[in-house]
Amino acid sequence: MRLTYNLSRFPSDTESTYMPYLKPERPEKVTAPSLKASKERGERLVCLTAYDYPTARIVDEAGIDIILVGDSLGNVVLGYGNTVPVTLDDILIHVKAVRRGVERALLVADMPYGSFHTGADDTVRAALRLIKEGEAEAIKLEGGQKRVKLVKRLVNEEIAVMGHIGLTPQSINQLGAYRVQGKTADAARRLLDDAYALEEAGAFSIVLELVPREIAELITNSISIPTIGIGAGVHCDIQVLVFHDLLGLAFGKLPRFVREYANLRETITDAITHWAEDVRNGSYPTEQESYGLPAAAAEELKIEIKKVNK
């Protein structure tokens, strides 16, 4: 069953008459501003990636608060070795599919590598495609202080921006490897400055990827917007994971912060090998799984009606 909201039909009457209509029948739609209020109330929220319609429906109906069409799409869906090759058009196709499956969660689209590196106007144009064509409600952008001007410009154009600091996978060619960031006092101070700068620029939340838990806690307690942790310990306001990692659908060695809650690779392999066996031994499809010719037509065509075994 889809979630339904009763937010739009207010009788044009007194406040006391229409107040009951302001109460949603289901958990409230998550918005960029509502995340800050959740942080103030000390609520622990959850964010998960999704890349297609069925996954988006499952994730949204499970009550996940934020759905991110991340450029991790490149690794887990498109089969690239990293996120660098992912294009704006790739993200857009997947955001559109995800949009059709999401009602309650806040839908965030990642700005892929190259979409915000050639100037502020190009960045706004790329972000607007994700918002207008993809119907995302916010965009995510990797980088700290060096992105402040861009973040201000996007916010000025009414685009909600999620920051992303710590490990920024789009920098892999400069970094050389995916490593924990902010491990020295200087690097940790830079991360804190990045977080302050993004908050000041108007970002509504910040992803902290692969940073020591103590630094994530310090940042979380130092800014008023929510932190979204991945490999950043328990003190972040929100936790995010990649859908395929959580469900055992990823290939290769997983980072230590991933907890696999299912092994869908095994479940899927079992199902398809079982089906292939049934096809090979003739037990699929059965009579109930196919359609019979009415006896009169069979008689006229002189076709002998054979019973399918099983």
Site stretch for ligand KIV (CB under 6 A), options 8-16, 30-38, 63-71, 89-97: 63-71
Burial of 172 (0-12, 13-18, 19+ CB in 10 A): middle
Contact with ligand KIV (CB under 6 A) among 32, 45, 68, 141: 68
* In the complex, minimum distance from the CB of residue 80 to ligand KIV, in angstroms, rounded to a whole number: 12
- CB of 68 or CB of 130, closer to ligand KIV: 68
Can you name the residues that pair with 238 across neighbouring β-strands?
45, 228
| Options 65, 71, 90, 194; binder of ligand KIV; rule CB under 6 A | 71
Scanning residues 261 to 290, which ones bind ligand KIV (CB under 6 A)?
none
Considering only the C-alpha atoms of the chain, give the largest distance between any 2 of them, rounded to a whole number of Å: 88
Q: Which of 285, 304, 282, 287 is nearest to 295 (CA)?
A: 304
- Quick one: 6 or 171, whose CB is closer to ligand KIV? 171
Q: Which is nearer to ligand KIV, 82 or 284 (CB)?
A: 82
Positions 225 through 244 that interact with ligand KIV (CB under 6 A): 230, 240, 242
Number of C-beta neighbours around residue 44 at 10 A: 12
Of these, 60, 65, 110, 237, which contacts ligand KIV (CB under 6 A)?
110
Rounded to whole angstroms, what are the CA distances from 130 to 77, 95, 141, 210? 19, 8, 12, 26
Q: Which residue is nearest to ligand KIV (CB)?
A: 70
Residues present in the chain in total: 310
Of residues 189-208, those binding ligand KIV (CB under 6 A):
207
Contact mark string toward ligand KIV, 37..56, x via CB under 6 A: ------------x-------
How many other C-beta atoms can be found within 10 angstroms of the C-beta atom of residue 22?
10
Options 64-72, 252-260, 264-272, 291-299: segment touching ligand KIV (CB under 6 A): 64-72
Task: Write the single-letter amino acid at 144.
Answer: G
CB of 246 to ligand KIV, least distance (A): 11
Query: Residue 25 class from Cβ within 10 Å (0-12 exposed, 13-18 middle, 19+ buried)?
Result: exposed
Residue nearer to ligand KIV on the CB measure, 2 or 83? 83
Choices 19-27, 69-77, 125-133, 264-272; region in contact with ligand KIV by CB under 6 A: 69-77
Task: CB nearer to ligand KIV: give 158 or 250.
Answer: 250
Q: How many residues bind ligand KIV (CB under 6 A)?
A: 10
CB 270 within 8 A of CB 287: no
| Closest to ligand KIV by CB, 26 or 242 | 242
Specify the residue, 257 or 284, whose C-beta has the smaller distance to ligand KIV: 257
| Residue 209 designated active-site | yes
Q: At CA 208, angle to CA 129 and CA 73, rounded to 5?
A: 45
Interface residue with ligand KIV, options 70, 144, 166, 212 (CB under 6 A): 70
Site membership for ligand KIV, residue 72 (CB under 6 A): yes
Which residues of this chain interact with ligand KIV, rule CB under 6 A? 49, 68, 70-72, 110, 207, 230, 240, 242
Catalytic residue annotation: 209
